[in-house]
Amino acid sequence: MIKDRQGQVVRELEGQNQLLKKLYSTSIGRCALKILVSPFITHLGGFYMSSPLSKTSISSFIKNNSIDMRQYEEKKYKSYNDFFTRRIKEGKRPFDKSDSILMAPADSKLTYYPINEETILEIKDTKYQLKDLLQDQQLANEYDGGVCLVFRLAVDDYHRYSYVDDGQIVGHKKIKGIFHTVNPIANDYYPIYKMNSREYTVIDSKNFGKMIQMEVGAMMVGKIVNYNHQIASKGKEKGYFEFGGSTVVLIFKKDTVKVDDDIINNSRENVETRVLLGQKIGCKGV
């Protein structure tokens, strides 16, 4: 279930969910999935989505997903990927520049997880330890007692994401993997994040301590595109995802952030919270 910040239930695309359920729950579907997630097919799909031939799919996607194009910059799209990575109009996602405010890095569905010594992080029924996600035991140990925030982007979300604070970038790591969907239905059958390609940035931030911002690729996403920054700036675009649904993860140390109560309460009830890029989701820890 998904709720907005006013507590209203938000509906998600059923067609996508039904297709994914068939892929992951049947033997034929799983055989097809092995082909779909192969590097050759993934790259072929990415090539098509970046070609002019893919433009024919744009209008039907806008209609089927009720996308309000008034929010986005007006332009003629060269390909489906050009449309998928469209930019929002200036002022449509205002950022609160206050040092004490923690903002959402992307339009997404948010889940909150506390981290402690015995925690096995669970992201929609996918269980793993933080060390597996980061592939770094020592780094994971630093976040004991902290907070993990998972921002799941669906295909109809805005697929550009931003930094949530100013700071110095002190580390970056890329982890190769098999592209799988991050749709929660898939997690009933496969451990998703251990199979996804992902990359993360370690930031010595101004207001939230040494934090981690991770991007996770998904099935049929050609690539995660991060800009080569040395300095993080709050609200500045960090990068974007090409076609598909994808995920951003924020990890904070103990007592560095206080997440808003509605997000925590929703997560305890296994409910995702619909948030928008730049929206307040918490504040500086005390």
Q: pLDDT tens across 195-254, in order? A: 677 899 999 999 999 999 999 876 654 478 899 899 999 999 999 988 766 889 999 999
- Is 246 annotated in the active site? yes
Is 261 an active-site residue? Answer: no
Q: Is the pLDDT assigned to residue 137 strictly greater than 60?
A: yes
Kindly tell me if the per-residue pLDDT of 20 is higher than 90.
no
pLDDT reading at 19 higher than 80:
no
Average pLDDT for residues 137-156, to the nearest whole number? 91
Length, in residues, of the chain: 286
Instruction: Answer whether residue 272 shows pLDDT above 50.
Output: yes
- Quote the percentage of the chain above a pLDDT of 70: 78
In terms of pLDDT, which residue wins out, 121 or 150?
150
pLDDT at res. 30: 65
Given a cut of 90, whether residue 116 has pLDDT beyond it is no
Q: Which of 54, 246, 260, 267 is catalytic?
A: 246
Sheet of strand 224-226, all strands in order from the earlier edge strand to the far edge: 160-162, 237-241, 224-226
Place of tokens 């076609």: 243
Per-residue confidence at 53, pLDDT binned at 50, 70, 90?
A: confident
Six token digits for residue 117: 């010594």
Q: For 60, what's the count of Cα atoms within 13 Å in the CB-facing half-sphere?
A: 4
Q: How many CA atoms lie within 13 A of 151 on its CB side?
A: 26
The count of domains in the chain is 1
User: What is the DSSP-derived secondary structure letter of residue 72?
Assistant: B
Instruction: Please report, to the nearest 10 degrees, the dihedral formed by the alpha carbons of residues 178, 180, 182, 183 taken in order.
Output: -170
Q: Which range marks the domain in which residue 42 is found?
A: 1-286
- Residue of 54, 79, 107, 197 marked catalytic: 107
User: Quick one: average pLDDT of 116-138?
Assistant: 74
Q: Which of 65-79, 82-96, 151-165, 246-260 has the highest mean pLDDT?
A: 246-260
Q: What's the pTM value of the predicted model, to 2 decimals? A: 0.86
